[in-house]
Structure 1
Amino acid sequence: MEDAGARIQRQRAYTSRILPHARPGLRNPPGLGAVATRRLLAHALLVYDSANEVLRTRPRTTLIPPDVYFFRQYTRPPYCTYEKLSAGELTPEVARDWDNACTTYFMHKKIDAKDQVKMIAFGMLDPRLRTWYLTQRATLDGGTFTQYMTALKNAWLESHWDTKLRRKVLGSQQGNRPFYEWALELQNQNALLYGSTTHLTDAQLRNQLEANICEELTIPVLRANLADNLTLKAWIEEVKYLDDKRLEDLAAHRKIAEDLYKSSRRAAPTSAHRLLAWVH
């Protein structure tokens, strides 16, 4: 059986033949496939020789945890990337996510305002959006990213989408849903209106929520006499506490009713049998 010293010498000879000119950033060493690379890394550690700018290997030892396969001590070369908008219908939610992703990308890459539109325009993978951009490329590239997003929404979102969404928010009612779930839904919908005149302020959203809570919650909220100077977050948390208590009481009453129903079902056959026995 091969001893440890001989095995280490064999591994060194093998890896020194395979990796003499490997450069940082290569996915697999030259001439070595993915499977062979995994087998190699199971027995050796890759380290970066900064003096010669090459990847070298050293054998594993028993001091290395079994779940550690290799350690790379080099940095990848800089590469260019950009955000991508997949093909499909452009909705207010998709437009918001695209706006946020691009803004984060600009901040991370420190892209100048004059270059922002051209850096992400070809990330629009939908042929319709890309053609729309190419037909007015000079105008869009010369403007700001905010102007680009406004033009994108005007061209591809449903007409008067913001007015329709505001009416949906104003017409929403809690119904049988938990208050907090309903309040989160309205806040998310109202967030899509941010930046437009249809966006509801915190005071307006609180009035909308308070006016459309379920009847069972109306009396507890009125009795709580919540202060008018509470923030929207604090007010929602107070109402959530009252609604959670209401739901707990409702669940307890439902359980009592179910238990009574089950006990009555069990008692019914016994009474019937007693009646039959009396008749006979």
Structure 2
Amino acid sequence: MDRHQVFDRNLLLTRRLRAWRQHGNSADFLLARACEDLEERLSTVERQFDVAVDLASHTGLAARAIQRSGKATTIVRVEHARQFLDNAFPAVVADEEILPLKPASIDLIVSLLSLHLTNDTPGTFLQIRRALKPDGLFLGAMAGENTLAELRECLLAAESEIYGGASPRVVPFADVRDVGGLLQRAGFTLPVTDIETYTVRYDSAFALMRDLRAMGMQNILIGRSRRPLTRHYFMRVAEIYAERFSDPDGRIRATFSFIWMSGWAAHESQQKPLKPGSAKASLADFLKDVEKLEKK
């Protein structure tokens, strides 16, 4: 296996398919929330798109959000497994890290809550940008660094206490500044990133972990420990969680942070930064004027 890989993506697909067979879309509330945000964000874009791609959002929710927005004429879904697809939209089965999209062929690409689990995220961004037509838009959301921070802390604390050491148990999520840098490196113009944070409350850590299993979101880190974990360990995790992150009513809090990102494929019509020295007023003159006003 490539030493640069962080995630076991075969295991990710296996667990997502198992979650889909056992639970269907019963735990898709985070994706549903992201789709609400997507529809709102698309409503502010003063453009119509001929062909849109819903990339690896795992259910039809994102495609339907694009459809409700009225911004796209044709919507195509791209998913890693046929089981995630239905007959509502044209579809392609492909890994999001190896996109089968022709260069400059798509007007809008949307991806919700999947790209943080790619091993070559810079390369995936580059493929997305190349697939866009000039002045095409990429709009996506991925999990940010504060996601499941409480659970991560409790898992590490319990493991250190019981086993005398700890291994990574929660995926390392991205920082918003790093994501902005990746968009720039991939050649997107006018890149924008921002964060939406949601707090979900549960009766216990066990209820949270049940939801994560229903999403297929267990540990897929290649460097994860293979040590079997006992019931005692998980009981201690739940106790620490309740001690550190519970509200007065006894329910616990779980943080989910979405990094929203957008970028355009370059086009001559887009706004460009001014060339150095082309400004008609200098900062020094502006500061002098401010100083004069303050003395009056």
TM norm. shorter chain > 0.5? no
Q: Which has the larger radius of gyration?
A: 1
Normalising by the smaller structure, the TM-score range is under 0.3
Structure with more relative contact order (C-alpha pairs < 8 Å, separation 6 or more): 2
Query: What's the TM-score, normalizing by structure 2?
Result: 0.21
Q: Choose between structure 1 and 2: higher helix proportion.
A: 1
